[in-house]
Amino acid sequence: MVATPNAEFRRKLRLVVIIFLWNKQILLYCRPIVHVTKVSCFFENKKNLFLIQVNIVILYPYFLLCFFNQTQILHIKNLVNIMKQISNEKGKLNRREFLATTTALGVATVVPRSVLGKGFIPPSDKITLLHIGCGYQGLSEISSLLRCPQIEVVGVADPNRQTNDYIGWSVHGLRNSLRRLIDEPNWLEGITGHPGGRDVMKNVVETYYKKNRPGWNGTIQAHEDYRELLSTMRDVDAVKIIPADHQHSYMAVDCFKRGKHQIMHKPLGNKLHEAMKVVDMATEQQKIATHMLAYSASRFNTIKQAKAWIDAGAIGKLREIHNWTNRPVWPQYPDIPTERSLIPTGFNWDLWLGPAQMREYSPKYTHCCFRGWFEFGAGSIADMGIYSMIPVFNVFGLGSAVSASTRFSRVVKTNYDLVPSQVVNTWSYPDAAAFRFEIPFKNGNGTVFFTWHDGGMKPNIPYGYKEDDLPIEGMMFIGEKGAIVGGFYLQNPTLVGLSPADEKKYANLKAAPETSEGGRGAQEETPAWLQEWIKNVKGESKNPGSFEFIRELTETYNLGAVSLMRNGKKLLYDPATRRVTNDEEGNKLLHRDTRKGWEFV
């Protein structure tokens, strides 16, 4: 069996493929390959074409021996046979056989779309993608990538080979959804817990492609170290980043250095300077398409409605914005684990730690539990707040916070002399917290206070609110003479505290036309955000979910985490210098104590 050609061979082949195009009809087919118009016109001249054919016949053996190795010569011979079949008007080539053959040989990467048939996207037009992070969330989101005909997942990486100890949101919910995706009703029958790991992801990807992509009969690469995967598969176009929070920035920077387009699960990073490095690189490298998965165009609509009411004076001058949630909904621990735990077979704990300093393994750190640790996660504000706060920062034109303070729940324990005392916790997020930020408007029109509440904390009930209590999750805008209250994303916004006359006056005031997700359009299996990112990859338009558009929000939530680590102290912050100006210890916490070998270069 001849091995599949590599990228070097395909590049060579593109230079000489015209050799095998024996008549004008095939030359017309292959115009997309010949990007220089003058070259295409040169080959259209029959005299020139005849001279080239004569020279190639004479020089063919010497040319092949000099330019290609023996394995590559076998690929060339197979290509000649395929192209002869195509150019023979009487001969008929079964399309499925043709696609299977050309895909296996790697030849399809130089064959134009018109030859392959309507609706088929040749590999040369596909975005090849590596998937870094194969845990519960990564597997939960894989379907949109697999179903997208313009994307091909060619490699995966995760420090975990395969275990069933992931924390999930329903019993067998993930396993059953993956069974439906790959059409395998008995897949992983008999397991307990929730599956995850690179071997699981590899199996899902390969099974899906074999059943749903004609001619696909290959394998994808799977590595425990994402750096090895990037080095091995240098020619891929893009990467999806979805490991634990503390590795996001490092992986993104590595991908920027290699010129890879990126999709990232929130957040950009859990240390301010690391995350802002990602923002800076995204701003500088505009040709690299990026997407933050927390972005959703439809969530802007209710925020635009609030902005329209506020601009019209419905609640007076805006003073405060509140957003609250019942998160965290994962285990959180007020103490550093002391019990010894065996590292699961096939799990590389050293690689999972990445830039974090070495410590003893504990399952209380990994999988979704990482969100509760300052070293590994970014808390509820970065887990859920990013979804709701992106539209607010965007629509209201908010800059980066200039101050942050926090208040939070405390844990009380009895010490050795049986005296209760509060635990001073500098390593994990509390069960409940409120972050208060002072944020300037970018247009210079003053500041507004934005407060994030989690763990069941809520703001005070505004005057005129008709219910007994605020919803368990919600958003509220408070002005000088009224308020706007709605759901977590400000769903079903309601004006509160207005006079009957003002309620009637503003009831029919509508914001600008709503922004929709655009439907699934021509690519029925491709969500709107992914379509936008693909357009960006191809240079057609800028993706509104790009990393640089969440600069201010990223800076703000990371500043809040430092206030928590400083026991709630109010921090004054200068976005221009990216420094805490009133607390040197807090300033140090904007950085990570990075383990040797993982430093940003």
**Spans of all domains in the chain:** 7-117, 297-520+550-588
Q: Give 31-55 pLDDT, tens digit per residue.
A: 333 333 334 344 445 555 555 555 5
- 252 neighbors 133 (Cβ within 8 angstroms): no
316 closest CA partner among 506, 128, 88, 466: 506
How many whole angstroms separate alpha carbon 450 and alpha carbon 555? Answer: 14
Topology, domain 297-520+550-588: Dihydrodipicolinate Reductase; domain 2 (3.30.360)
Q: Which phi-psi region, left, alpha or beta, contains residue 379 (left: φ > 0; alpha: ψ -120 to 50)?
A: left
SS3 137: helix
Q: What are phi and psi of 241, to 5 degrees?
A: -110, 115
Name the strand (E) or helix (H) holding 152: strand 151-157
How many whole angstroms separate alpha carbon 408 and alpha carbon 61? Answer: 77
SS3 476: strand
Amino acid identity for residue 573 in this structure: Y
Compute the CA torsion angle 266, 271, 276, 281 (nearest 10 deg): -70
Cβ neighbors of 173 (< 8 A, separation 6 or more) are none
Say what the pLDDT of residue 169 is: 86
Furthest C-alpha separation in the chain:
101
Residue located via tokens 């195009």: 21
How many whole angstroms separate alpha carbon 583 and alpha carbon 509? Answer: 46
- 107 neighbors 78 (Cβ within 8 angstroms): yes
Cβ neighbors of 432 (< 8 A, separation 6 or more) are 408, 409, 454, 455, 456, 457
Q: What are phi and psi of 566, to 5 degrees?
A: -95, 25
Say what the pLDDT of residue 392 is: 98
CB-CB neighbours of 510 under 10 Å: 10
453 closest CA partner among 433, 471, 473, 472: 433
How many whole angstroms separate alpha carbon 91 and alpha carbon 257? Answer: 48
| Neighbouring-strand partners of residue 157 | 132, 223
Say what the pLDDT of residue 104 is: 47
Average pLDDT, the chain: 85
- Tell me whether residue 244 is exposed, middle or buried, using C-beta atoms within 10 angstroms of its C-beta: 0 to 12, 13 to 18, 19 or more: buried
Say what the pLDDT of residue 125 is: 80
Cβ neighbors of 505 (< 8 A, separation 6 or more) are 314
Token readout for 109 is: 């990467």
Question: Which CA distances in Å does 431 have to 120, 409, 411, 453?
Answer: 51, 6, 9, 11
| Neighbouring-strand partners of residue 347 | 160
Q: Which phi-psi region, left, alpha or beta, contains residue 133 (left: φ > 0; alpha: ψ -120 to 50)?
A: left
Q: What are phi and psi of 571, to 5 degrees?
A: -105, 135
Low-confidence stretches of the chain (pLDDT beneath 50): 1-4, 18-44, 56, 86-87, 89-100, 103-114, 116-119, 518-523
pTM over 0.85: no
How many whole angstroms separate alpha carbon 454 and alpha carbon 473? Answer: 9
How many whole angstroms separate alpha carbon 483 and alpha carbon 497? Answer: 6
Q: What are phi and psi of 324, to 5 degrees?
A: -140, 155
214 closest CA partner among 126, 94, 105, 99: 99
How many whole angstroms separate alpha carbon 172 and alpha carbon 167? Answer: 11
Chain-centroid distance, C-alpha 539: 19
| Neighbouring-strand partners of residue 453 | 324, 434
Amino acid identity for residue 434 in this structure: A
Question: Which CA distances in Å does 218 have to 3, 101, 130, 202, 232?
Answer: 11, 12, 15, 11, 17
Amino acid identity for residue 339 in this structure: E
- 43 neighbors 25 (Cβ within 8 angstroms): no
In the chain, what is the straight-line distance between the N-terminal and C-terminal CA atoms, in Å?
43
